[in-house]
Structure 1
């Protein structure tokens, strides 16, 4: 078979397949759109039924709220042929006591109204604010406690002894040895506390008091410590 005939046959076969596929897709699309149209038609019919029902309800409500003209005419009172004459008003009699009774009643009403107004004002006034309680005295600082403690000692104390003494004197507070030692050194730097080194230990005493040493250090060491303390001060 020639090559041109084979190509034409293959091309025709492709067209047939393509047309069949398009037909199938067209049929499915028609079915889908038909189903949607049916659903929309059902919705439209439901809306029309609801519209008719609402119109009937509206008409019924309008009829009930309107009043017939015949009822209005029957309830209206006929106009009188002539206006009635006003009745004669009797002349008021003068009180025998010269009007004092009416004045007394008026004064009593005014007094009662004044009392009611005063009671209303008392109730409307807010209650007086309670008196402010005096603030509690501020707790002394650690520096104040350290100075007070050293001032009551007859001899120098180490940082550990100062910490122990503060803990015993103030059991409601917590004292740390490192914090107490730093506070003592800060007071030494300000000149409020002095320190004295005895061998390897450091003792603190209040400024202006004379330290009492229990074990004197060697002369050479004492001189060196004195020079160092003088330089520090």
Structure 2
């Protein structure tokens, strides 16, 4: 039974309407997913900025972070055996003859290993741990005869340690942490804030007479 031209035209119209509707749904779904991707990227960027700030504060406070442990997903993935990709059966399993070692050979092997280990220890340079930012700030305040602002402390430490990246806002946060722990004193004069060692003999009245350009709000 052959189709008439009228039936063919109706079928084309139905298919065309169906394809148009599918295209509209596809386009809307793409727009929705693109909007979610943009929102997720913005959230990720914000989290990354917060993470950088928290890491700087953590370093300033001298907090040592433990090494990350393997996650449960990694452990589960490691426990699942990998599927075998080889399809061809092995003709035969070839076994290698075991190499027997005498006690004398074992002693020589251990002696060589100990010699290499001792040589590596001797050749390795001794690495001294660098002082934390908290230690540097406390040492700097102790050596000063007058209170210093956060900007002055940051500039002095940057000049003394050019290999370290020292930021004024991190120094200010560290100084406030020392004040909270009674390891430093805060001296306020006008709109400027100065810091001095807790053990310094100078009183708050010995702050510089000329206000520093460093203000409380940074």
TM range (shorter): 0.3 to 0.5
**What is the TM-score normalised by the length of structure 1?**
0.38
Q: Which protein, 1 or 2, shows the higher relative CO under an 8 Å CA cutoff with sep ≥ 6? A: 2
Larger Rg: 1
**What is the TM-score of this pair, normalised by structure 2?**
0.41
